[in-house]
Chains A and B, each alone.
Chain A
Amino acid sequence: MILELDSVAKTYRTKGRGDVEALRPVQLPIPEGSFVSLVGPSGCGKTTLLNIVAGLLPPTAGRVLFEGQPLAGPSRDMGIMFQRAVLLPWRTVEKNVMLPAEVFGQEPSSMQERVAETLEMVGLTDFSNALPQHLSGGMQQRVALARVLAYRPKVLLMDEPFGALDEFTREAMNVELLRLTRPAGITVVFVTHNISEAVFLSHKVVVMSPRPGRVTGVIDVPFDDPREIDVMRQQTFTELVFEVRELLNKEESRSGVPAEVEGA
Chain B
Amino acid sequence: MTTENTDLRTTEATRTGAPTAEDVPLDLEGGQWKWRLGTLATGILIFALWELLPRAGLISPIVLPPFTDTMAALYTLVTSDFFMGHFLVTLNEIFWGFLIGTTIGLVVGIVLGVFEPLKRLTYPFVVAFQAIPKIVLAPLFIAWFGYGQTSKIVMAIAIGFFPVLINTMVGLETVPNDMIQLMRSLKASKMQIFRKVSLPSASPLMFAGIKTALTFALIGAIVGEFVGAAEGLGFLLDTYNFQLRIDRVFSVIIILSLIGGVFYFVLEWLDKKLIFWRQDV
Interface residues of A (CB under 8 A from B): 54-56, 73-76, 78-80, 82, 84, 86, 88-90, 99-100, 102-104, 123, 127, 130-131, 133-136, 138-139, 168-169, 171-172
Tell me if B10 and A136 are in contact (CB < 8 A): yes
Tell me if B192 and A103 are in contact (CB < 8 A): yes
B11 interface residue per 8 A CB criterion: yes
The total of chain B residues at the interface (CB under 8 A) is: 28
Alpha-carbon distance A82/B185, docked complex (angstroms): 11
Leading 6 A-B pairs by shortest Cβ distance: A172-B3, A89-B277, A80-B185, A103-B186, A103-B188, A168-B3
B2 interface residue per 8 A CB criterion: yes
User: Shortest beta-carbon distance, A200 to chain B, in Å?
Assistant: 16
B178 interface residue per 8 A CB criterion: yes
Secondary structure type dominating chain A contacts: loop
Alpha-carbon distance A103/B191, docked complex (angstroms): 10
Contacts of B127 in A (CB 8 A): none
Tell me if B179 and A171 are in contact (CB < 8 A): no
Tell me if B181 and A82 are in contact (CB < 8 A): yes
Tell me if B3 and A56 are in contact (CB < 8 A): no
A to B CB contacts below 8 Å, 9 in the list = A54-B185, A75-B187, A76-B186, A79-B185, A89-B279, A103-B183, A103-B192, A127-B11, A172-B1
Secondary structure type dominating chain B contacts: helix
Task: Take A133-B279, A136-B10 as given contacts and tell me if A74 and B187 are in contact as well, using a CB distance cutoff of 8 Å.
Answer: yes
Contacts of A103 in B (CB 8 A): 183, 186-188, 192, 196
Tell me if B185 and A88 are in contact (CB < 8 A): no
Contacts of A74 in B (CB 8 A): 184-187
User: Shortest beta-carbon distance, A105 to chain B, in Å?
Assistant: 9
Task: Take A88-B200, A103-B188, A103-B196 as given contacts and tell me if A169 and B3 are in contact as well, using a CB distance cutoff of 8 Å.
Answer: yes
B14 interface residue per 8 A CB criterion: yes
Known: A86-B182, A139-B11. 10 other contacts (CB 8 A): A55-B185, A73-B187, A86-B179, A88-B196, A102-B196, A103-B187, A133-B279, A136-B11, A169-B7, A172-B3
Contacts of B1 in A (CB 8 A): 172
Task: Take A79-B185, A88-B200 as given contacts and tell me if A134 and B178 are in contact as well, using a CB distance cutoff of 8 Å.
Answer: no
Contacts of B14 in A (CB 8 A): 134
B115 interface residue per 8 A CB criterion: no
Alpha-carbon distance A138/B176, docked complex (angstroms): 20
Alpha-carbon distance A74/B1, docked complex (angstroms): 36
Residue of A whose beta carbon sits closest to that of B189:
A103
Contacts of B11 in A (CB 8 A): 127, 130, 134-136, 139
B120 interface residue per 8 A CB criterion: no
B269 interface residue per 8 A CB criterion: no
Alpha-carbon distance A100/B184, docked complex (angstroms): 11
Contacts of A80 in B (CB 8 A): 181-182, 185
Contacts of B277 in A (CB 8 A): 89-90, 131, 133
User: Shortest beta-carbon distance, B83 to chain A, in Å?
Assistant: 44
Q: Which B residues, 1 to 17, have Cβ-Cβ distances below 8 Å to chain A? A: 1-4, 7, 10-11, 14-15
B242 interface residue per 8 A CB criterion: no
Tell me if A82 and B182 are in contact (CB < 8 A): yes
Residue of A whose beta carbon sits closest to that of B203:
A90
Residue of B whose beta carbon sits closest to that of A83:
B178
Tell me if A127 and B187 are in contact (CB < 8 A): no
Residue of A whose beta carbon sits closest to that of B9:
A136
User: Shortest beta-carbon distance, B122 to chain A, in Å?
Assistant: 26
User: Shortest beta-carbon distance, A215 to chain B, in Å?
Assistant: 24
Tell me if A139 and B7 are in contact (CB < 8 A): yes
User: Shortest beta-carbon distance, B22 to chain A, in Å?
Assistant: 13
B276 interface residue per 8 A CB criterion: yes
Alpha-carbon distance A164/B201, docked complex (angstroms): 23
Tell me if B181 and A56 are in contact (CB < 8 A): yes
Alpha-carbon distance A75/B185, docked complex (angstroms): 7
Residue of A whose beta carbon sits closest to that of B192:
A103
B197 interface residue per 8 A CB criterion: yes
Contacts of A127 in B (CB 8 A): 11, 15
User: Shortest beta-carbon distance, A185 to chain B, in Å?
Assistant: 21
Tell me if B183 and A82 are in contact (CB < 8 A): no
Alpha-carbon distance A180/B182, docked complex (angstroms): 21
Alpha-carbon distance A54/B178, docked complex (angstroms): 13
Contacts of B185 in A (CB 8 A): 54-56, 74, 78-80
Alpha-carbon distance A131/B183, docked complex (angstroms): 20
Alpha-carbon distance A92/B100, docked complex (angstroms): 34
Task: Take A103-B183, A123-B4, A168-B2 as given contacts and tell me if A90 and B200 are in contact as well, using a CB distance cutoff of 8 Å.
Answer: yes
Tell me if A84 and B192 are in contact (CB < 8 A): no
User: Shortest beta-carbon distance, B99 to chain A, in Å?
Assistant: 25
Contacts of A131 in B (CB 8 A): 277
User: Shortest beta-carbon distance, B129 to chain A, in Å?
Assistant: 33
Alpha-carbon distance A48/B125, docked complex (angstroms): 39
Alpha-carbon distance A90/B273, docked complex (angstroms): 12
Alpha-carbon distance A171/B3, docked complex (angstroms): 9
